[in-house]
Amino acid sequence: MALLNCAGKVSSAPSRAFNQGNSGNKRAMATRTWILYAVILWTSDKSRVCGQLLSGRVADDYEPSIRPNTTGSAVDVRLHLYIESMGTIKESTMVTSKRRATLTSAQRTHTVKSPPINSSTPTQDFTITMWFRQFWQDPRLVANASASQEVVNFKGDRMSLIWTPDVFFLFEKDSKFHDVTVPNRMLRLYPNGTVLLSTRLSITLACNMELANFPMDTQECQMIMMSYAYNSNEMTLTINDASLEIDTDLRIPRFHLNEYKTAVTEFSYGPTGNYSAAKVTFSFRRHLQSYILTVYIPSSLIVIIAWLSFWIDAKAAPARVSLGITTVLTITTMTAGMQETMPLVTYAKALDVWLALCLLFVFLSLMEYACANYLIIVENNRKLKNYTKKLGNGINEKVDHMRVFEFHYGLGVSRRPGYREPLTADKLDRIFRYSFPALFVVFNVIYWPFYLR
């Protein structure tokens, strides 16, 4: 079966090229003149053939603004998508749209959760570059026995001669057609009346996010296509898994495409009726490796540094205090930095829980030193009081500091049976040296299985 391209305009570049001849060479000039004449005849003949093809297939009363089957069943538009690439899926600010769409009672009874729903739902930008192909049957364009049986491609202005579907993308935020080096748009007419409209475009869609498990989350983004003017009684859309292709080398920053599925449904828009819609749902799993390297490991090391403070002498106040304050400030700064890159939500994310518990652990180490320092003061006062009592009555209670120092570091008193040693700063440090890492391990044992399930 032959194929003929019918473009909207004829380029004048050949004539400019052939005008640059060598005036001194008459034979060369004559040859070029004949070649130019042949090109003009071929171009004119091509335009004439395209016109004959159209006149043989398109009736005089054909109206491109009127859909096929106006007196019959709805025109069925079959969709075929080839996903070339997907851009970065990034979190953005809250959306403000309050549009809602409901499925018909024959299919669903609940409200469709299509993005965006309300102003409290965070969205992510979801960009796709694809070949968008539409197939439909137009009985008015079936070639009769006397007409040419060639397949005709239409480009440019000639595409407006044929009726095309008015498919749009629901919740589209931005889109563009590609026109390098020529407009990436083509319409193909087959002898049996089948029409193919192929367009290469990039489109950015809104996608609802559920960030409770962030960054161990899986997001589902929908691409919904439907007619703008024709309801389901006039035009239907058809799509299936076989009509969706994805480039094998597709890579998405920060995400991995788990799976995709297609569906055909109907949306109800009040007085305008029900509209046929084709839906593609993409399931993305976020890459966890980068967050492990940039958040989880550094914050864990900060908790370990806070744990090391229990091995420093409690009397070394400058070292213990500076280490505790530094770890608290570091975790606080890390938490603030992560919050700046994420939309505000009314619930805690998995990363928020991790950073909050890390902050609690390092703050606990600082509070432990405050308790240890208090125990040192209590212990010194108790020893001083016991020492003065042992001096007996009649002896001046004012004891010089040197003797107190000697008592503190060597002189003791006998303990009666059943005497319980009071809690000291050294004992408190020894307790936290083992309980602190044990609690952190228990937290990890609970945290990771809970959010990775």
Tell me what pLDDT residue 440 has. Answer: 98
| Residue type, position 133, single letter | R
**Domain check: are 254 and 313 in the same one?**
no
Tell me what pLDDT residue 32 has. Answer: 64
Who has greater pLDDT, 33 or 355? 355
pLDDT in tens, 196-233: 999 999 999 998 888 999 999 999 999 999 999 999 99
Residue 63: inside a domain:
no
Tokens of 366: 């600082």
Least confident of 48-52, 143-147, 362-366: 48-52
Supply the CATH number for residue 351's domain.
1.20.58.390
Residue 3: inside a domain:
no
Contacts of 209 (CB under 8 A, 6+ apart): 91, 121, 122, 123, 124, 217, 219, 343
**Domain check: are 344 and 233 in the same one?**
no
Tell me what pLDDT residue 442 has. Answer: 98
Residue 62: inside a domain:
no
Show the DSSP H helices in 268-316 as ranges.
289-291, 297-308
Instruction: Decide: 97 and 261 in contact? Cβ < 8 Å.
Output: no
Residue 11: inside a domain:
no
Cα–Cα nearest to 84, from 119, 19, 132, 126? 132
Supply the CATH number for residue 139's domain.
2.70.170.10
Residue 42: inside a domain:
no
Tokens of 289: 């490796």
**Domain check: are 225 and 85 in the same one?**
yes
Tell me what pLDDT residue 147 has. Answer: 64
Who has greater pLDDT, 425 or 94? 425
Cα 422–Cα 423–Cα 429 angle in degrees, nearest 5: 155
pLDDT > 70? residue 290: yes
Q: Which helix (H) or strand (E) holds 33?
A: helix 26-57
**Domain check: are 183 and 108 in the same one?**
yes
- For residues 394-408, give the mean pLDDT: 50
Give the C-alpha separation, 250 to 127, whole Å: 13
Give the C-alpha separation, 356 to 335, whole Å: 8
Tokens of 311: 């091995």
Who has greater pLDDT, 433 or 58? 433
**Domain check: are 304 and 440 in the same one?**
yes
**Domain check: are 279 and 133 in the same one?**
yes
Give the C-alpha separation, 285 to 176, whole Å: 27
Give the C-alpha separation, 157 to 134, whole Å: 19
Radius of gyration (Cα) for the chain, nearest Å?
39
Tell me what pLDDT residue 203 has. Answer: 96
pLDDT > 80? residue 288: yes
Please identify, among 287, 322, 337, the residue that sits at the C-terminal boundary of a domain.
287
Residue 343: inside a domain:
yes
**Domain check: are 133 and 257 in the same one?**
yes
Residue 80: pLDDT band with limits 50, 70, 90: very high
Task: Return mean pLDDT, the chain.
Answer: 80
**Domain check: are 276 and 387 in the same one?**
no
- For residues 302-307, give the mean pLDDT: 96
pLDDT in tens, 253-277: 889 999 999 999 999 988 889 999 9
Give the C-alpha separation, 240 to 280, whole Å: 9
Residue 196: inside a domain:
yes
Tokens of 276: 């046929």
Strand partners, 274: 268
Residue 193: inside a domain:
yes
pLDDT in tens, 317-374: 899 999 999 999 999 999 999 888 887 888 999 999 999 999 999 999 999 999 999 9
- For residues 148-155, give the mean pLDDT: 82
Tell me what pLDDT residue 157 has. Answer: 83
Give the C-alpha separation, 41 to 47, whole Å: 10
CB neighbours (10 Å) of residue 275? Answer: 25
Tokens of 61: 């009363």
Helix (H, G, I), strand (E, B) or coil at 158: helix
pLDDT in tens, 94-104: 443 333 333 33
**Domain check: are 191 and 229 in the same one?**
yes
| Residue type, position 149, single letter | Q
Q: What residue numbers bound the domain in which 311 lies?
A: 290-452
DSSP string spanning 188-235? EE-TTSEEEEEEEEEEEEEEE---TTTTS-EEEEEEEEEESS--TTTE
**Domain check: are 204 and 316 in the same one?**
no
**Domain check: are 112 and 237 in the same one?**
yes
Tell me what pLDDT residue 100 has. Answer: 36
- For residues 95-121, give the mean pLDDT: 38
pLDDT > 50? residue 40: no
**pTM greater than the 0.85 cutoff:** no
Domain count for the chain: 2
Please identify, among 256, 287, 318, the residue that sits at the C-terminal boundary of a domain.
287
Give the C-alpha separation, 246 to 254, whole Å: 18
**Domain check: are 315 and 348 in the same one?**
yes
Please identify, among 287, 314, 340, the residue that sits at the C-terminal boundary of a domain.
287
